[in-house]
Amino acid sequence: MDDIKEKTDFIRDIIKQDLQKEAGKKIHTRFPPEPNGYLHIGHAKSICLNFGLAEEFNGRCNLRFDDTNPTKEESEYVKSIKTDIKWLGFDWGNNEYYASDYFEKLYELAVLLIKKGKAFVCDLSAEEIRNYRGTLTKPGRESPYRNRTIEENLQLFKEMRDGKYPNEAKVLRAKIDMSSPNINMRDPVMYRILHKKHHRTGNKWCIYPTYDWAHGQSDSIEDITYSICTLEFEDHRPLYDWFIEQLGIPHPRQIEFARLNLTHTVMSKRMLLELVEKKYVNGWDDPRMPTISGMRRRGYSPEAIRNFCSQIGVSKADSTVDMAFLEHIIREDLNKKAPRVMGVLNPVKVIIDNYPQDKEEELEAINNPEDPCSGTRKIPFSKILYIEKEDFMENPPSKFFRLTLGREVRLRYAYFIKCVDVIKDKNGEISEIHCTYDPLTKGGDAPDGRKVKSTLHWVSAKHCIQTEARLYDKLFMKENPLKTEGSRDFKNNLNPQSLIIVNDCKLEPSLKTAKAGNIYQFERLGYFCVDCDSNDKKIIFNRTARLKDEWVKIKASIKK
Ligand code: ATP
Ligand code: MG
């Protein structure tokens, strides 16, 4: 979709080889989220891969909700998942499926396995099953219920379905090999009893299939040709193959790839849910979250996320991508698109002593130097302005080139000003900086050719609008938040400074009409987008990214 260059990776190589062998073969992939949380950037990698392959090879990609566990799933998640995939720019057309739609079919297939003597009803408790399973070095022991007759198993399984037994009283297990070196093959559980309402099937079922039983068969039922999943399922592949071979149903090819890990965040839905439920963040779409909805609210574009997924590529080797790389991609995207404006986050008053009291001027400013078509706008100038507190120092070190007593600097798009005096309040804080301006430097250059060493951003006090800015930083302080000392929990690694709210941000008046989702570069400060919490009375800006790109530095240090 975005790429001029053809993508290559080991999965695309496999598919190309298959297509050479079998001309005209239709490729069919799927994205199978479990609706137990919001999608994150790791899911975006899988979405770009599965939907991307279908687009490139003229095939089809299903959206399948893997909704086999009624205890954790909610319709809210289904809705958010659909919104996020569409926003990323992908379309599943009519191919929206639910594993729960196959409950009847899966039940029939389970009955078929029982009839073949390949599955049995087991009365061991969950703990006993664990104890019987053995370890990597020790073979497991067979369940005492393993040799029930086919008739007895059929009868008991039907009774399980009919609700005759309480939760956990019995399970259905595959009958494979308790001494297999692969623990997944040691008579895995296929069905559990769970008297619980399901978000789609209601109270129709009180037995639910396990992921291992449902997943491969769902792929087969949908005629998936490439079942692409993350590496942790490599050890489950022999089991999926076994089921399909016993049942004699269509056989998708499973290919595993490395999941995306990112520094300074977590990607497990269980942990993300904990952050939401215990209010460490303000919901799934908090702009600090690695979720797609969080990134959208933060001001990331779908093109940038797709570009990120394309640049990190697909491989078999586990790795962790630096968050700075994602931010680098975001910045490149915003640099092209975001109009420039001036805003002051931490204001201090500047009074131009020799500027007439009531005079106002409109100065011309460039909207985006990266985009000549974006034109110019007018910004008002007057006697009293705001500049950034950090841009003035009374006793500056030698490398400080910004404003100080006696020094001349440029105000962007306006004039040269020179500081002549400062006034302090009773706490000793600077309350007013007095300057003079040179009318001949209008537009930003001196006719006599004299130079200044810095250019400051500013807004006119009389004209500016006051807003709230939310400054975001990394959610976790540690690169790997899961690395914790002793019994401490990953939440101990949360960054207490990950959100700083600034209430007194002053912005140029052109931003009065900014709408939720609009994104700007505040000159010298960073990229900011209008948050959906904004209303007619108050505009709130989220800092999407700082201007400084840390990735360039990190990349250089990696190369050394
Ligand atoms: P969790 O273990 O946190 O619940 P999950 O992997 O089980 O996450 P699913 O909803 O089952 O979440 O994932 C749907 C699809 O997205 C799966 O095919 C899975 O392989 C893929 N996926 C999930 N996380 C990542 C990741 N970090 N990188 C790449 N793909 C991922
Ligand atoms: Mg999963």
Residue located nearest, by CA, to atom 15 of ligand 1: 33
Output the CA 75–ligand 2 centroid distance in Å. 17
Q: Is 550 a catalytic residue?
A: no
Output the CA 40–ligand 1 centroid distance in Å. 9
Q: Among all chains, which residue has been given the structure tokens 């800015």? A: 469
The CATH homologous superfamily of the domain defined by 269-339+467-559: Ribosomal Protein L25; Chain P (2.40.240.10)
324 CB near ligand 1 (under 6 Å): no
Output the CA 34–ligand 2 centroid distance in Å. 6
271 alpha carbon, closest ligand: 1
Q: Of 259, 478, 524, 555, which is the active-site residue? A: 259
Residue located nearest, by CA, to atom 23 of ligand 1: 43
46 CB near ligand 1 (under 6 Å): yes
550 CB near ligand 1 (under 6 Å): no
Residue located nearest, by CA, to atom 9 of ligand 1: 33
Q: 353: closest CA among 378, 395, 385?
A: 385
72 alpha carbon, closest ligand: 1
260 alpha carbon, closest ligand: 1
The dotted CATH code for 343-457 is 2.40.240.10
CA distance 542 to 528: 5
Output the CA 35–ligand 1 centroid distance in Å. 11
Are 530 and 540 in contact by the 8 Å Cβ rule? The answer is: yes
45 CB near ligand 1 (under 6 Å): yes
Residue located nearest, by CA, to atom 2 of ligand 1: 268
pLDDT value at residue 556: 77
CA distance 330 to 388: 26
- Equal CATH topology for 269-339+467-559 and 343-457: yes
Are 260 and 102 in contact by the 8 Å Cβ rule? The answer is: no
SS (H, E, C) 385-441: EEEEHHHECCCCCCCCCCECCCCEEEECCCCEEEEEEEEECCCCCEEEEEEEEEHHH
Output the CA 40–ligand 2 centroid distance in Å. 13
Q: Of 7, 12, 34, 418, which is the active-site residue? A: 34
Are 417 and 375 in contact by the 8 Å Cβ rule? The answer is: no
229 CB near ligand 1 (under 6 Å): yes
pLDDT value at residue 7: 84
Output the CA 33–ligand 2 centroid distance in Å. 7
Q: 125: closest CA among 185, 193, 74?
A: 193
269 CB near ligand 1 (under 6 Å): yes
One digit per residue, pLDDT tens: the chain, 560 residues?
454 467 899 999 999 999 999 988 999 999 999 999 999 999 999 999 999 999 999 999 999 999 999 988 788 999 999 999 999 999 999 999 999 999 999 999 999 999 999 999 999 999 999 999 999 999 999 999 999 999 999 999 999 999 999 999 999 999 999 999 999 999 999 999 999 999 999 999 999 999 999 999 999 999 999 999 999 999 999 999 999 999 999 999 999 999 999 999 999 999 999 999 999 999 999 999 999 999 999 999 999 999 999 999 999 999 999 999 999 999 999 999 999 999 999 999 999 999 999 999 999 999 999 998 999 999 999 999 999 999 999 999 999 999 999 999 999 999 999 999 999 999 999 999 999 999 999 999 999 999 999 999 999 999 999 999 999 999 999 999 999 887 689 999 999 999 999 999 999 999 999 999 999 999 999 999 999 999 988 999 999 999 988 887 777 776 65
Handedness of CA 478, 479, 484, 490 (dihedral sign): positive
CA distance 142 to 123: 12
For strands 499-507 and 465-472, give the pairing: antiparallel
For strands 465-472 and 340-341, give the pairing: unpaired
CA distance 57 to 18: 12
230 CB near ligand 1 (under 6 Å): yes
Of 9, 92, 215, 259, the residue with max ligand 1 atoms within 8 A of its CB, to mutate for a pocket test, comes to 259
Q: 470: closest CA among 370, 555, 379, 542?
A: 542
Q: Write phi, then psi, for 295 (nearest 5 degrees).
A: -65, -35
CA distance 343 to 547: 14
Per domain, the residue ranges of the chain are: 2-259, 269-339+467-559, 343-457
Per the document, the length of the chain is: 560
* β-strand partners of 460: 385
Residue located nearest, by CA, to atom 13 of ligand 1: 33
Q: Is 543 a catalytic residue?
A: no
Helix (H) or strand (E) holding 230: strand 226-230
Ligand 1: atom nearest CA of 34 is 10
34 alpha carbon, closest ligand: 1
pLDDT value at residue 550: 80
pLDDT value at residue 488: 81
For strands 408-411 and 416-424, give the pairing: antiparallel
42 CB near ligand 1 (under 6 Å): yes
Instruction: Tell me 465's DSSP state.
Output: E
Q: Is 34 a catalytic residue?
A: yes
65 alpha carbon, closest ligand: 1
**Environment class of 57 (CB within 10 Å of its CB; exposed 0-12, middle 13-18, buried 19+):** buried
Residue located nearest, by CA, to atom 10 of ligand 1: 33
CA distance 410 to 393: 16
pLDDT value at residue 559: 62
Output the CA 202–ligand 2 centroid distance in Å. 22
Instruction: Tell me 476's DSSP state.
Output: B
The answer to whether the pTM exceeds 0.85 is yes
3-state SS class at 366: strand
The CATH homologous superfamily of the domain defined by 2-259: HUPs (3.40.50.620)
Output the CA 378–ligand 1 centroid distance in Å. 49
Q: How far is CA 153 from CA 146, 176, 213, 280, 331, in A?
A: 10, 16, 18, 49, 61
CA distance 120 to 146: 6
